[in-house]
Structure 1
């Protein structure tokens, strides 16, 4: 029992998705409403299957994926570095604030003026810093407190000393609120002339933030700018590196795309490949070895089978010719068609192998004349005129004379088969190509892509061939590096062979 190949189809194309009777206009069972619901479910499921297939089978760029991965990793690294820097700056700002206040306390201590009793009476401020405690009285403050807890000297006359909440005389650093303004305070004990004092320096929270922003802000901005430029340069560098590293893979892909049945002996080189890609290239070359061997066996079998069939067909024809059977002519016609198909199979096997061609300087005009003379009787039977046109001073071309004869013979024979009585088939040979033009009905546009496929036969063909003649022509043109195309002219079809295929 042969396997059911429907299971290999895409699910949204399978015939089981739409269960309708072939000869009925109504669904097989159920009401119209139920059938509509089932059809809607089938369509939704088919759409989901199609979306799932496309999502998992769309091509992905290795270079693009790697570049995106590196960029995402770089962005995450920059964000992490920014968080670390922000934390470090916040910590450093707090430490710098405490250090600055401690230095301010030391500065105040060193600039205190005492009276004869050893009591602080003034702060000897240099002219360049005298403005600090007078211009910014709310943001910069100091106190000198005696052992009784009384402020004997202050930037604010009569102001009480700074005291933490809850009260703790041993605390050296604390925050207070004065007149609704948060202050950071640092205290330091001082002994002078046997008297103990406490020097306090304070700065408002807004002043600390202002000075910190003036210092830290530009640093952060410069760091972000450097990070953005570095990321951009990094992305360009990675992109260029990926293009350089993937260049051998692209070259291997281009070389693989040029491998065809005619050059199956070509192999991809592992020399310039990265070490990680060499197993893939090696496996691909081994697959080509197996493919080449299978293709060679197939071609040899085809040629052997066609060759072995020639002798039995000749013997059968001889027996039929000697017989007195009433349907002898019918049998001879069948045998001739079989012999023709066998000959075409043999030609196809031969032209599919480049080693079977014997290239030499060839007079294409002379070959065209031989092909026209060979088919003259066939043209006369169909009342079709063959018109051979040769350009002046045709140069000789390097080609296989026998293969070119088969190419022209098949093209002319195809034109004769599709030409009505009284028509003209024109064979035109020029320096850069040749063409065969008939005056038939032309080629349906949907059939043009199928013409040169093996065993393809149009629905309106008049002959009983196997559909190999044009395929043989295509193989011969490829072997010579020529191009063969078909098109519809003003009257009938035209087959053009261009010698400059590149």
Structure 2
């Protein structure tokens, strides 16, 4: 799965919390509407409180004098004839400050000469739409003012405004604050709980399965994460056991085959026949394969703790001189060029094995009369180039030399040696023909980038 497609666990949990909180809010809103809808008298009481609060916004004071102007927002409701909504504002002594009510609706209100109660409500028609009359005393400064309203039919749907305010004030705002605190606490808890996982992942990225102490520390981890770390540690232990068994098996087979091959070759050399000569050549190929198995076994047993600085120019010059007789005996040529350059932390014998395999591949598969150039640099790079037939890169695979026959584990050995030394093996085609193989390392003293 690509890295950009992965979402952090905190984001996943946060989105789910928000989703379920929204669903809970929706469910509670529906429950509130249903519950309130069963009690129209209670909704009438809430509507009376809401409407009188809105009407009270029109009060103004000038010293001890109180005046009233209907708020513009309510003009379409209490300032229009035949709207079904009427209101009256008066003092406790009966002085009317505002009235939008004819003689017919006055009967729904209390008499002006009556000292009004703090709150009163009378249902005109039960059920929906709301039809009620009521009044409420509101303190303004040092005066008590009495607001009375009557609603007949609720044509402007005051009931829905009441329900919306109830849902907003008593459910959405409190639940939103709770959600913010819960979400914040959850994200902080997740981040804290996952910190050991992040640290374990960083350690696992740099674990060497060949190292006997390669493991993730389980101390201080939550139980579930410690179980995962323990499973990883046991997996590494099994991997080491399998690699050790493979190493022993490979090494044992290689050493057991060497002696019979040498005996068979001696016997074939005594036979003067073309078939015997062809068999001798095939035995040489098999012997070469056995040598590679021995190299592979030695590679798998390598310990990085014993690495020392190795000068690439000296290594290239040395391996070129060592293999020159082999190269010229097969009709090819070899040369070295390079200047003193960076050193590489590594195992000199293994690095020579890598260079030897690249040179032997060029001789064996480059074609008749191939010319080989070994070079060191620029930088921590060792290059083996030839002007042979080149290679054919497979679809989606690393390139392999063209060859007639051959058992071909040499390049795999080179790749493993490069990886062991924190480097890589690169191939390129040389125009018009030929191959360039490069061993690219990190110079001694530099930090190898994480891969």
TM-score, length of structure 1 as denominator length: 0.62
**CA distance in structure 2 between the partners assigned to 1:448 and 1:380 by the alignment:** 35
Q: Which residue of 1 aligns with 2:27?
A: 80
2:17 to 65, 70, 73: 70
Q: Which residue of 2 aligns with 1:94?
A: 44
Q: Which residue of 1 aligns with 2:409?
A: 468
Q: CA deviation at 1:426?
A: 1.4
Stretches of structure 1 lacking an aligned partner (at least 5 in a row): 1-53, 101-124, 145-152, 156-171, 187-200, 452-456
Contact 2:130 2:154 in 1 (8 A): no
Q: CA deviation at 1:499?
A: 1.7
Q: Which residue of 1 aligns with 2:107?
A: 142
Q: Which residue of 1 aligns with 2:144?
A: none
Q: Which residue of 2 aligns with 1:40?
A: none
1:402 to 330, 349, 352: 349
Structure 2 residue 200 is matched with structure 1 residue 252: yes
Contact 1:133 1:140 in 2 (8 A): no
Summarize the alignment of residues 64-463 of structure 1 with structure 2, pairs less than 5 Å apart.
Answer: 65-86=12-33, 92-96=42-46, 126=91, 130-131=95-96, 134-137=99-102, 141-142=106-107, 174-176=123-125, 183-184=131-132, 203-205=150-152, 220-221=167-168, 224=172, 231=179, 235=183, 238-239=186-187, 241-259=189-207, 261-263=209-211, 266-322=214-270, 327-355=275-303, 358-391=306-339, 393-430=340-377, 431-446=379-394, 449-451=397-399, 460-462=402-404
Q: CA deviation at 1:346?
A: 0.9
Q: Which residue of 1 aligns with 2:69?
A: none
1:483 to 421, 424, 430: 424
Contact 1:265 1:292 in 2 (8 A): no
**CA distance in structure 1 between the partners assigned to 2:326 and 2:131 by the alignment:** 115
Q: RMSD of the alignment, in Å? A: 4.3
Q: CA deviation at 1:494?
A: 0.9
Q: CA deviation at 1:461?
A: 0.5
Secondary structure at the counterpart of residue 481 of structure 1:
coil
**CA distance in structure 2 between the partners assigned to 1:82 and 1:343 by the alignment:** 79
Q: CA deviation at 1:67?
A: 3.2
Q: CA deviation at 1:88?
A: 6.8
**CA distance in structure 1 between the partners assigned to 2:45 and 2:244 by the alignment:** 83
TM-score, length of structure 2 as denominator length: 0.68
Contact 1:386 1:425 in 2 (8 A): yes
Secondary structure at the counterpart of residue 350 of structure 2:
helix
**CA distance in structure 2 between the partners assigned to 1:218 and 1:174 by the alignment:** 22
Secondary structure at the counterpart of residue 203 of structure 1:
strand
Greater mean deviation of Cα atoms: 357-366 or 436-445: 357-366
Q: CA deviation at 1:316?
A: 2.7
Secondary structure at the counterpart of residue 446 of structure 1:
coil
Greater mean deviation of Cα atoms: 358-367 or 223-232: 223-232
1:498 to 430, 436, 440: 440
Contact 2:108 2:150 in 1 (8 A): no
Q: CA deviation at 1:411?
A: 0.9
Stretches of structure 2 lacking an aligned partner (at least 5 in a row): 51-89, 113-120, 135-147, 443-447
Aligned residues: 375
Q: CA deviation at 1:386?
A: 1.4
Contact 2:131 2:154 in 1 (8 A): no
Residue-by-residue CA offset, 1:109-156 (whole Å, 9 max, x unaligned): xxxxxxxxxxxxxxxx74786437843337963369xxxxxxxx978x
**CA distance in structure 2 between the partners assigned to 1:306 and 1:357 by the alignment:** 26
Contact 2:344 2:380 in 1 (8 A): no
Secondary structure at the counterpart of residue 349 of structure 2:
helix
**CA distance in structure 2 between the partners assigned to 1:139 and 1:350 by the alignment:** 111
